[in-house]
Structure 1
Amino acid sequence: MRFVLASASPARLAVLRAAGIEPSVVVSGVDEDAVAAALTDPAPAELVTALAAAKAEAVASTLDGDAVVVGCDSMLSIEGEMLGKPGTVEVARKRWAQLAGNTGDLLTGHAVLRLEDGVVTRRTTGSNTTHVRFADPSQDEIEAYLATGEPLNVAGAFTLDGLGGWFVEGIDGDPSSVIGISLPLTRRLLAEVGVTIPDLWSLT
């Protein structure tokens, strides 16, 4: 059985490797904006879960044999707004104007699919929310952070495990979820499709 991570995120891959799993990485290529547009006024948890499921299903459709596929999506909810990857320095700068000295909820949606002989036999989804307390960095610090490029391609324009960790005062909840893949939630979802963590450790 293969463990397949349906994500290009190096942070998610690093979390899994540190936890004793060496996944195959298959990027879904899903149009996230199209998936989101197809939903009618989704709740934050519904949105990230739907995106995670779309990624997992897209990757599963390309596989054969026995596998478990994990899809993930993360967004930051702050002041009633859902923030994904900013993409540009200008957008990231506006995001940090919101984040500085503020608090937000980092939502991570997960989807787990079990394949047998290339056919999805079981699927399950779930989400996790972690409260994040942001520091109030100086404008020079923010500009220096933006210049690194790190905040442009991560949900909410910050990381916990990288350079952005300097600007996070604390979190209430699961740190692995903020990095991008919640180990506790993933373990529960894997159990729902009949896979245990020792099963996965035995693959490495």
Structure 2
Amino acid sequence: MNGAEPVPTRVVLASASPARLEVLRRAGIAAEVVVSGVDEEAVRVADPAALALTLARMKASAVADRLSADGGGRRVLIGCDSLLEIDGQAQGKPADAAQAAQRWRAMRGRTGVLHTGHRVIVTEDGDDRSTEAVASTVVHFAQLSDTEIDAYVATGEPLWVAGAFTVDGLGGPFVTRIEGDYHNVVGLSLPLLRTLLAELGVDWPALWPPAPG
């Protein structure tokens, strides 16, 4: 309606990933983080893309159950989980440095698919509506030397991320090419998130802070 005040929107990210939070921040969205506490290692789903979506759904649901209803306004809750698929097998975070190095020796010079599951729950006027989808991006890895692998693993970065690599950090030089959404490899697909929000009746600009003045 003309002259109506914009609906205030609270954005909650159900993920402990600093990279996902930074993706949202750079897109102009001030999200708060609520960690789900979901035990990812206990979940068994054969298909990597389906596993990523299952974990995203579980994270979003766990956080939604803990949040109290907003007193008016609207809440957007985003749950995400990423997995690298190599030879049909899901690769989450490596258990230790030895496993990270082993994985890199197996995937150097090869191609994998980074799947990120997205689950979005919009709460407004006591009503919940939700949708979900997976974004998949093909990742081409450089032919690293053993020395490069050992040095990279020694930084500790591969131990904290799905697939034991980053594209936006120290691992960036080791990714020669991607096919698909760059942000998805970081951990959250902005184009997919925009599409999912539109399905739920939320316009992307509504997540931006009010213009000054």
- Using the size of structure 2 for normalisation, the TM-score is 0.89
Superposition CA RMSD, Å: 1.4
Secondary structure of 2:66's counterpart equals: coil
Match of 1:58 in 2: 62
Which residue number in structure 2 is paired with residue 90 of structure 1?
98
Gaps of 5+ in 2: 1-8
Q: Deviations over 1:75-108 (max 9, x none)?
A: 0001121100003101101110111111000011
The answer to whether the 8 A contact 2:48-2:89 is kept is no
3-state SS of the aligned residue for 2:62? helix
The answer to whether residue 52 in structure 2 is matched with residue 44 in structure 1 is no
Moved over 4 A (4+): none
Secondary structure of the corresponding residue to residue 168 of structure 2: coil
1:131 partner amino acid: V
Distance 1:61 1:120 in 2: 14
Aligned partner of 1:9: which letter?
S
The partner residue of 1:141 within 139, 148, 152 is 148
If you compute each CA radius of gyration, which structure gives the higher value, 1 or 2?
A: 2
Mapped to 1, the partners of 2:104 and 2:196 lie a distance apart of 33
When structure 1 is superposed on structure 2, of 156-165 and 79-88 the one drifting more is 79-88
* Count of aligned residue pairs for this structure pair: 199
Aligned ranges 1:122-201 → 2 under 5 Å: 122-201=129-208
1:120 positional shift: 5.4
1:113 is matched with 121
Matches within 5 A, 1:12-31: 12-31=20-39
Does the 8 Å CA contact 2:60/2:77 hold for their aligned counterparts?
Answer: yes
Q: Percent identity?
A: 55
- Structure 1 residues 203 and 62: alpha-carbon distance in aligned structure 2, compared to 1, 3 A threshold: farther
Deviations 1:137-179 (A, max 9, x none): 1111111100100000100000000000010001010000000
- Judge conservation of contact 2:117–2:133 (CA < 8 Å) in 1: yes
Measure, in 2, the Cα distance between the counterparts of 1:169 and 1:45. 23
Cα offset, 1:56, TM superposition: 0.5
Q: What is the one-letter code of the residue matched to 1:191?
A: A
- The residue identity in structure 2 corresponding to 1:135 is A
SS state at 2:82 partner: strand
Deviation at 1:54, TM superposition (A): 0.4
Post-superposition offset of 1:31: 1.2
Task: Tell me whether 1:5 sits opposite 2:13 in the alignment.
Answer: yes
Give the Cα–Cα distance (whole angstroms) in 1 for the partners of residues 88 and 205 of structure 2: 40
Which has a greater percent of helix?
1
